[in-house]
Amino acid sequence: MDIIAFGIGEKGKNAISMLERDYNILFFVDNDKNKWGTVFNGYQIKPPDEIEKYNCNIVVTAGNKYAGDIVRQLKQIGVSRDRIFFCHQLSTNSKEKFEVYSMNAEMTKSTEIPLIQYDLYKEEDRETSHKKVLIFCAFFSTYAQQLIENMSKRYEDIEFSLLTYAMYAEEYKEKIPRGQLKHIYCVQSMADLKTILEEIPIYDAMQLLWIEAPWVYVHKYIRKKAKRLNLNVGGSDFYRAQKDEKEYKRNIIACSDYITAETKATVHEFELYYGTDAKGKTDLLPFGIEVLDYINCSENIPVNEIKKKFHIPENKIVITCGHNAKSEHQHKKLIETLKQLPETTKKQIICVFPMTYPAGYDSYISSVKTQLEESGLEYMILTEFMDFRDMAEYALVSDIMIHVQTTDQLSSTMLEEMYAGSIVIAGKWLPYQSLHEMGMFFIDAETIPNVKECLEDVIKNIDKYKKKCIENKDIIWNHSSWDKLAPRWYKLWS
């Protein structure tokens, strides 16, 4: 089959061997004018207008963030939907395994593999009087783990199953008790996903942890198998999504029954954007925070004992800077601000940078460390895995947390720190006004440079600010504990 490949980025380079094996590549096109007339792996690179002269299929090999723009561009050229295909890296640990699938899910062929072969447990489906709930989460997430575990502990009449990418299935199997999951369906390709959805029985509820692109692709098949289809809005689903991505997700938003988000601000902005497709079925429902229970169990441990465990000097005020290793936490800008603190203030504090996750950020962590070494600040970078008990104990010794992420919906780590008594300085640009309205106390920093004066004032008056934070504990328990939220999640699936 003749094809034209659109895009010569990293994905195009990795996928070319597979494309050459299965297709006859006529040439590549790209939007970069500087590449026109050059050669890529033996193929000519031409401008997109050249596509008009051919009636073959177009395989989009550009990165995912460009896919929406390219599809719109192809339609303007006159390419019909049934001629547009995507090159997708299979969900494996290999970067060289790809599939090509049609823009129309109806044109994607089923694999004809029996459903039981997709289940990590190889479990036959049987009739049950229990409420059948299928959780969708493409990757491993502690939110999915906590949701299943905490609801299973409280309600014996729910039968949970999970649908996830194959490379994450073993981690779910390892971390969630066997009795709490009936099936773990493993997906590598869009063909797998379509096949599973065609073969599974009807579920009482299907719960999407986030509105991820693979689920949107097969939204019609999901809708057919869900008596109740519920979506949860994540920060990346909405605040970090480009317009094309938001519009693509409208397909599943429009056919859903109920949509939840973690803050009132997100509910409001989501409804404002999606209008009638979301209005009347979007509401506030956070995930519970399991670490709160561990904080309750650990709060009588002497602070000095915990500081010793983490190798934190006893006489230092502990400043927590961000909560993971992603650059969105703006660690480098924050360091530039903190190094301007007076020397007397620097001697009082230790800046702790929790960077225990996600994996694959070693180079960035190293660059942050280099910057810290030149800053004159006493610091620690935490990179070892922390379980819930470790997280709870650390929260109890953290005096101040600085949270200046670029965008966010709601930070569970920030709430954990506030619950444990930490004074939080958060970027005013983050959508946290509803937390103030609930009565939570934290300090808004207009800009990252503004953090310096906020921090100086807090350190000078730390006892006064600690007293202002006392009420946070009860408010956060009522807002974020599983004891309070589990009945609302249960109702969502009824």
> In three state form, how does the secondary structure of 6-67 look?
ECCCHHHHHHHHHHHHHCEEEEEECCCHHHCCCEECCEEEECHHHHHHCCCEEEECCCHHHH
Judge if 115-288+484-492 and 291-480 fold alike in CATH terms. Answer: yes
* 28's tokens: 């590549």
Could you please state the CATH topology (level 3) that the domain comprising 291-480 is classified under. Rossmann fold (3.40.50)
How many CB atoms are closer than 10 A to CB 380? Answer: 17
Indicate the CATH number of 115-288+484-492 among 3.40.50.2300, 1.10.10.10, 3.40.50.12780, 3.40.50.2000.
3.40.50.2000
Per-residue model confidence (pLDDT) at position 477: 98
Cβ pair 381, 368 in contact under 8 A: yes
Give mean pLDDT in consecutive 10-residue pieces for the chain, a chain of 494 residues: 92 88 96 95 95 96 84 94 90 72 93 97 93 97 96 98 96 97 96 97 98 95 98 84 89 98 90 96 96 97 96 97 96 98 97 94 97 97 96 98 91 96 97 93 98 98 98 97 98 95
Report how far Cα 373 is from the mean position of its chain's Cα atoms: 31
pLDDT at 94: 57
Largest separation between any pair of C-alpha atoms in the chain:
75
Q: What architecture does CATH give domain 2-103?
A: 3-Layer(aba) Sandwich (3.40)
**pLDDT value, residue 435:** 93
- Per-residue confidence (pLDDT) for residue 96, from 0 to 100: 61
pLDDT at 93: 61
Q: At what angle do helices 291-298 and 412-419 cross, to 10 degrees?
A: 20
Checking DSSP bridges between strand 2-6 and strand 24-29, what pairing results, if any? Answer: parallel
Element (H, E) at 358: none
Domain range summary for the chain, segments of one domain joined by +: 2-103, 115-288+484-492, 291-480
Rounded to two decimals, the pTM is: 0.87
> For residue 95, what pLDDT is reported?
57
